[in-house]
């Protein structure tokens, strides 16, 4: 297991063309996921922006192109939220199927076993609509005091934090039931599709 299975740093980035770049960072460990920093820089402050983004995998609200164009010469490692969702949904389905197979192997003895419960993962999400999604599940998108230039990026960061929390909850459920995940299973702090992006940093 590599260090990246124990700690990860993610940057949510919003580019306001010709003006500013807003950043929210998320720190992830095996025990917690926290919003760990917030910045807004004029686009001209490229050294400061690069310093904050160093060592982080990046979710850009406008896609990769605008940030790459705004920071020429930088070598970023980008991730996508829908790749996360696809892996999380597939893992939940696989674990549920493993449980059903295990129970069916000795249905008489195991018929009263309680099935594992996993988060109902959506097929896709648009991080630019994070406020609407958070409010639809009864969660606050951003505090009312949030500066206007940070509202969209903070809402996206809060949604990503929620998704990571749900992934880790699902992982714990799989780990608690060895027949679901396998005896050699290890809890990962993020889906593999995101973890492998650290190899390019």
Q: Which domain holds residue 77?
A: 3-200
Query: What is the reported pTM?
Result: 0.92
pLDDT given at position 112: 85
Residue 51's Cβ-side half-sphere holds a number of Cα atoms within 13 Å equal to: 6
Tokens of 107: 């249905």
User: What is the rounded CA–CA span in Å between residue 61 and residue 86?
Assistant: 19
Put the strands of the sheet holding 77-78 in their side by side order. Answer: 33-42, 20-29, 7-16, 57-60, 77-78
pLDDT given at position 50: 94
The secondary element (H helix, E strand) that includes residue 8 is strand 7-16
pLDDT given at position 184: 52
pLDDT given at position 194: 95
User: Dihedral through CA 100, CA 103, CA 104, CA 110, nearest 10?
Assistant: -150
pLDDT given at position 1: 39
Q: How many folded domains does the chain comprise? A: 1
User: What is the rounded CA–CA span in Å between residue 197 and residue 201?
Assistant: 7
Residue 57: count of CB within 10 angstroms of its CB:
23
pLDDT given at position 5: 62
pLDDT in tens, the chain (201 residues): 344 468 999 999 999 877 999 999 999 998 899 999 999 999 999 999 999 999 999 999 998 888 998 888 888 999 999 999 999 999 999 999 988 888 888 888 888 888 899 999 999 999 999 999 999 999 999 999 999 999 999 999 999 999 999 999 999 998 887 676 655 567 789 999 999 998 777
Residues 53, 11 contacting (CB under 8 angstroms): yes
């Amino acid at each position: 297991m590599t260090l990246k299975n124990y700690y990860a740093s993610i940057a949510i980035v919003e580019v306001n063309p010709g003006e500013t770049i807003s950043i929210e960072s998320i720190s992830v460990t095996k025990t917690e996921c926290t919003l760990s920093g917030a910045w807004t820089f004029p686009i001209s402050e490229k050294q400061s922006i690069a310093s904050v983004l160093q060592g982080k995998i990046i979710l850009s609200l406008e896609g990769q192109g605008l940030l790459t164009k705004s920071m020429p010469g930088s070598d970023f490692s980008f991730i996508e939220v829908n790749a996360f969702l696809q892996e999380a949904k597939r893992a939940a389905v696989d674990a549920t199927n493993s449980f059903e197979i295990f129970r069916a192997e000795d249905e008489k003895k195991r018929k009263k076993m309680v099935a594992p419960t996993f988060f109902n993962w959506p097929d896709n999400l648009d991080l630019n609509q994070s406020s609407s999604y958070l409010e639809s599940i009864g969660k606050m998108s951003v505090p009312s005091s949030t500066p206007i230039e940070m509202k969209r990026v903070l809402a996206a960061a809060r949604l990503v934090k929620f998704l990571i929390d749900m992934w880790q909850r699902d992982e714990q459920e799989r780990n608690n039931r060895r027949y679901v995940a396998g005896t050699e299973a290890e809890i990962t702090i993020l889906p593999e599709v995101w973890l492998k992006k650290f190899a390019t940093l």
